[in-house]
Amino acid sequence: MHSRLFAPNSLSSKIWTGTVIGILFILGFSFHLATAQTPTPISTCGNVSGSVILSTNLSTGNTACLIVTGNSTTIDGNGKTITALNDAIAIASKSTVTIRNIVTAQGITISGTSSFITIENSTTGFIGVYSADDVTIDHVTMTGVAVQGNDTDSALRTTFTNNTVTGNASTLADFMGSTVGPCPRTDFVVTDNTFTSSYACAAGSCDEPKTLFMRCGTNNTVSRNTVRSTGQAMGARFRDEFDNSVVSNNTFWVNTADGAFGALNITSGNVDKHQPRNNTFDHNLIRADNDVAMFLQVSGSSNTFSYNTVWSNDNYVGNTIGDGPNSNTFNHNTFYNSGTGRMIYFTYRNAGTDVWTNNIFSYAGSETFYFDGWSWAAYSGNRNIFYARNGTPAFTPNGSSFATWKTNASPDDANSISSNPLFTNPDAGDFSLGASSPARLAASDGTAIGAWQPGAQCVESWSCGSWSSCANGTQTRACTDANSCGTTANRPPETQGCTESCTESWTCSAWSACSAALQTRTCTDAHACGTTALRPPLTQGCSSGNGCVENWDCSEWSICTNDSQQRTCVDLNTCGTTTEQPVLTQSCSALDIAAPAEVSDLR
């Protein structure tokens, strides 16, 4: 039987029916998306999955407050505070999880086979990432971080950007791809962060504390970070097959006592791993106020150091290069020791030749270089400037004078000179060259010798991350100088006062029956802001008894079935009468859907 409306044949009927079904599908799918994107308010600790938003502060005496139990989960902290015994949030072997706007003094732990986890715009305690891959941590203020793989499951492709890490742990930030060699390709991206360690230890009890520690992982990018130690920790240490990586435009700055291993430390470690190789260290400020600035111990091979400013204030030795060389290149660097110690202490015990070109060495101590296990085959250099501020350069034990050094080194350093480079104000960190500096246009490439280049005086270029969530009346953000000038004259503010903001989201029950000329209802703020500026009215006047005015609200008509449609209607004023109630049923005409056998009609 065919339609009684307008379908002359089964083809038209099927097309019309398909169109209706398609429209209903699209409407249903859109409704599903709208529903899926609406977070569910939560007010207690426990298991979470899907999309949730904190409606109040959470607290528990358990090990963790929120435990992620499903993939594709989003937790919006809504600026609320989470308190737990150890972890605010725990994620184990889950994927596609986003955490944002969290405030907690406790940690966040990501473990197992977890992947594609994002933590952003939050304030937390310690963040631990254990064997998880593709983790992004962005614009988070925290007290420490560890990204670590193990001997069976590496940690890969962590992106760590625009964060502020401040604390007193013996290792403030630790990035390790694996515990065993050969080490994996980790592709860590560590950029635009501020690491500040205040770790303190008694004399003789320090066990090589570190502000930033990266090891057993290759092909990493470390750029535009400020790594600052105000206690006894060294600055940055790169160790154990930290290979094929770029370390550029960073500030490594420590004011530790002698023996803390410097602002930049590159060293060997476990016997199953080789020393760092094939890395580029360029345009970094490496500064130590009371220690060696750069400490290279078994520094690996084929590393390039260029356009770095290495500024120490040490009364023993400004820089140490031990158990080298290994065919490393030092080109266009400025080495300056404000103290009375040596400029550089070499321990040359390995085969290979280090190349030193276009560098400036300025010191006031006893000698420029001191060599242990020296071999002339270990050194190749030219176009360097050696300047002893208290007299003439000395090289111990291989020739006491600069002239003797050049004779013994020949043909190396044939075009090197001993002269004042005429820094503008080196004790204030200004290593730009005066107009008559002998370093100008004297490099082998026709530019200036040293790290600074004419026309490129360091101008601070600050960029700042987003403000954190308001916590205790304060917001913070991290600002990074892209030029790593080492000065803060034009740095924007990194803290500001704030008033915690919350957008009210009210839902209300139906009005009560009219009683004593008054109706009431309850309304709840899903965001639990604690304010009532946008709350709808909770009471309204009404006429009691037969005077109650019906106020009907009806749903859409149902699909036509058996020539009839239905709907439901609710009296919002709950009068208890039906005088003005709209009709609930109406007749209609429906299309008959052709049976499969009717396909023959198409022929």
Average pLDDT, the chain: 84
Retrieve residue 364's tokens.
């006031």
Q: How far apart are CA 305 and CA 324, in angstroms?
A: 14
E strand or H helix at 382: strand 379-382
Give residue 204's region: left, alpha or beta (phi > 0; psi -120 to 50): left
Residues of the chain with pLDDT > 90: what percent? Answer: 50
pLDDT band at 596 (very low <50, low <70, confident <90, very high): very low
Q: Is 108 within 8 Å of 136 (Cβ atoms)? A: no
Task: Answer for the pair 305, 278: CB distance below 8 angstroms, yes or no.
Answer: no
> Any long-range contacts for 207-211 (C-beta under 8 Å, 24+ apart)?
207/170, 208/234, 208/237, 208/261, 209/170, 209/171, 209/233, 209/234, 209/260, 210/170, 210/171, 210/172, 210/174, 210/234, 210/236, 210/237, 210/265, 211/172, 211/173, 211/235, 211/236, 211/254
**What confidence score (pLDDT) does residue 544 get?**
58
* Residue 27, pLDDT above cutoff 90: no
In this predicted structure, what is the pLDDT of residue 13? 46
The model's confidence at residue 31, banded by pLDDT at 50, 70 and 90, is very low
User: Residue 430's pLDDT is what?
Assistant: 92
pLDDT at 176: 97
Percent of the chain with pLDDT over 70: 83
Question: Which pLDDT score is estimated for 26?
Answer: 47
Q: Give the pLDDT confidence score for residue 470 in this predicted structure.
A: 77
> How many Å apart are CA 435 and CA 21, to the nearest integer?
80
Q: How many CB atoms lie within 10 A of CB 181?
A: 14
pLDDT, residue 121, reads: 96
Q: What is the pLDDT of residue 600?
A: 36
Higher pLDDT, 50 or 406: 50
pLDDT interval class at 18 (50, 70, 90): low
User: Quick one: tokens of 313?
Assistant: 């204030």
Give residue 484's pLDDT. 73
Say whether pLDDT at 417 is over 90: yes
Closest CA to 150 of 129, 171, 125, 124: 129
Q: Give the lowest-confidence range in 89-103, 140-154, 394-408, 443-457.
A: 394-408
* Beta bridge pairs of residue 476: 495
pLDDT digits (tens, 9 = 90+) for 424-453: 999 889 999 998 999 999 999 999 999 998
Domain ranges of the chain: 314-453
45-59, 377-391, 467-481, 549-563: range with lowest mean pLDDT:
467-481
The residue with tokens 């400025």 is 334
C-alpha dihedral sign at 256, 261, 266, 269: negative
Distance from C-alpha of 599 to C-alpha of 200, rounded to nearest angstrom: 86
pLDDT over threshold 70, residue 415: yes
pLDDT per residue as tens digits for the range 227-239 = 999 988 999 999 9
Q: Looking at per-residue confidence, does 455 or 8 come out higher?
A: 455
Contacts of 465 (CB under 8 A, 6+ apart): 139, 162, 163, 192, 477, 478, 479
Of residues 594 and 537, more confidently modeled:
537
Q: What is the band of 534 on the pLDDT scale with cuts at 50, 70, 90?
A: confident
Mean pLDDT of all residues in 556-583: 86
For residue 599, is pLDDT > 60? no
Please compute the mean of the pLDDT values over residues 447-474 and round it to a whole number.
81
pLDDT at 91 over 70: yes
How confident is residue 324, by pLDDT bands cut at 50, 70 and 90? low
Which one-letter DSSP state was computed for residue 600? G
Q: Is the pLDDT of residue 342 over 90?
A: no
Name the band, by pLDDT with cuts 50, 70 and 90, for residue 547: low
The amino acid at residue 43 is S
Query: Is the pLDDT score of 81 beyond 80?
Result: yes
Q: Distance (Å, rounded) from C-alpha 343 to C-alpha 317? A: 6
Q: Give kind and range of the element (H or E) at residue 32.
A: helix 10-36
Task: With CA atoms as reference, report the closest residue to 277 among 308, 310, 241.
Answer: 241
Taking alpha carbons only, the member of 495, 538, 397, 541 closest to residue 194 is 495
pLDDT of 595 over the 50 cut = no
What is the average per-residue pLDDT within 20-38?
A: 48
For the cut 50, the answer to whether the pLDDT of residue 6 exceeds it is: no
- The model's pLDDT over 391-405, given as tens digits with 9 standing for 90+, comes to 888 877 655 688 888
How many C-alpha atoms does 478 have within 13 Å on its Cβ side? 27
The predicted structure's pLDDT at residue 159: 98
How big, in percent rounded to 5, are the helix, strand and coil portions of the chain?
10, 40, 50
